[in-house]
Each structure stands twice: as C-alpha cells, then as structure tokens.
A and B are shown apart, each in its own frame.
Chain A
Amino acid sequence: KNEVEQSPQNLTAQEGEFITINCSYSVGISALHWLQQHPGGGIVSLFMLSSGKKKHGRLIATINIQEKHSSLHITASHPRDSAVYICAVRADSGAGSYQLTFGKGTKLSVIP
C-alpha cells in the first residue's frame, strides 16, 4: 500500500467548475507538497504546507495534520488547468526526512 493515496485518479470537469483533489498519507510528515505536471513532463511546485491553508490565485491548498489529509481546490477551473496534480510528503524524521514520497497523481481534464 502506497504511503500517499490520492483521489480521484482521473477527473473531468467543465470549465468554471470548482475542483477538489484529495490526498491522504499514513506517515508523520514535516511538509506536504502539491505539484503540477504538464504533458511535457516538467513539474512545477504549487504549494508546500506544514499546517493550515495557503492560497495562490485560483488555487487553495489545505492540510489537516491530525487527520493526515490534504486537499487541493481549484476555483473557476480553466482548460489550461488540465494537468496531473501530484501530492508528495516529506517524512518528519530519520533518513527519509530529506526525501519525498509521491502519490500516483490525479489527472485533471477541464473541458471548455
């Protein structure tokens, strides 16, 4: 069982819809990352969270440390938001604390 689980695996939305992608993890973490990967393969870091909530433009990320759960929200979705969104966690101690463990990603397609 992967330590980082994302849902849904695939998501198709109409332009303008509010989108939520979920991430659950099973280990203690020092930080959680939300990443965006476009079809060309390059990855962009969207957020790094250790508590609470962050907002950047139409993107909002929240994390609940007690429940080991994070959500990424996209408001007023647009076709250019189509990408794979990846959740990654950094362990809070030990040799793994400098390394990221990744979810399988959520493939989002926004239709005009």
Chain B
Amino acid sequence: EADIYQTPRYLVIGTGKKITLECSQTMGHDKMYWYQQDPGMELHLIHYSYGVNSTEKGDLSSESTVSRIRTEHFPLTLESARPSHTSQYLCASSLYTEAFFGQGTRLTVV
C-alpha cells in the first residue's frame, strides 16, 4: 500500500485567505508532483520536484507556490485564495516510473 498522505481532505475557505495543502510520503521518493483536477476534466501538472531544494512549474499555470525542504514533504501554498482556485489538488510521488497518488484535497473558495 502506498504511503502518501494529503491533508486536509476537504477545505472550504474565504477569499483572500492564505492556505497550505500538505503532502507527505514515507517511501523516500525523490520525485513529487502536484496536479490540479477540475470536475470531469483530466489532471494537469502544476508543480513538480526532483529532490530537495528542486521545484519546477508544470504545464498548467498556477498562482500557487511549492517548497521542498525535506524529501518527504512537498507543501503547496496559495497566498491569497480566490474562487477560481476551487478545484481538487492531487499529490503524487515516484521513484522510477511507477507513480503513487495521495487521496487528494478538495478545495472550495467562497
């Protein structure tokens, strides 16, 4: 069973608030990813990291930022949440080619 965890699972927050979505994995994977998924749509890569102190933006432009200070931890931050940020955010990690996914965070900005 994959050991990758996301918190919170669900979050409803007001416009303008700063939020951090947590993602942790205990598998020692170097590569970690954040995906955004709107209802009924495909997943889009918004950030990825190949290791500590390495972060890159993905295919889909996002106002969020990420950090990778520790191998096991890859938090995503929105400095000022807006209704357009309402979506599902999925975190994943991989060692070689197989990917493991977290349960996702469903974010609603009101």
Contacts and interface: CB of A to CB of B under 8 A. Distances in A.
Interface of A: 2, 4, 30-31, 33, 35, 40-45, 48, 86, 88, 90, 98-100, 102-105
A103 B42 contact: yes
A98 B31 contact: yes
A97 B90 CA distance: 19
A99 to B, nearest CB: 6
A42 B98 contact: no
Question: What 6 A-B pairs are tightest by C-beta distance, nearest first?
Answer: A41-B104, A43-B101, A42-B103, A102-B42, A102-B43, A104-B42
A90 B43 CA distance: 14
Interface in B87-110: 88, 90, 92, 94, 97-104, 106
A43 B42 contact: no
A98 B94 contact: yes
Q: Is the interface of A mostly helix, strand, loop or mixed?
A: strand
Given A2-B42, A102-B42, A30 B97 contact: yes
23 contacts: A4-B42, A30-B97, A31-B97, A33-B98, A40-B9, A41-B90, A41-B103, A41-B104, A41-B106, A42-B103, A43-B92, A45-B2, A48-B98, A86-B42, A88-B43, A98-B50, A99-B33, A99-B45, A99-B48, A99-B59, A100-B99, A102-B42, A102-B43
A74 to B, nearest CB: 20
Contacts of A88: 43, 99
| Most chain B CB inside 10 Å of its own CB: which residue of A43, A45, A102 | A43
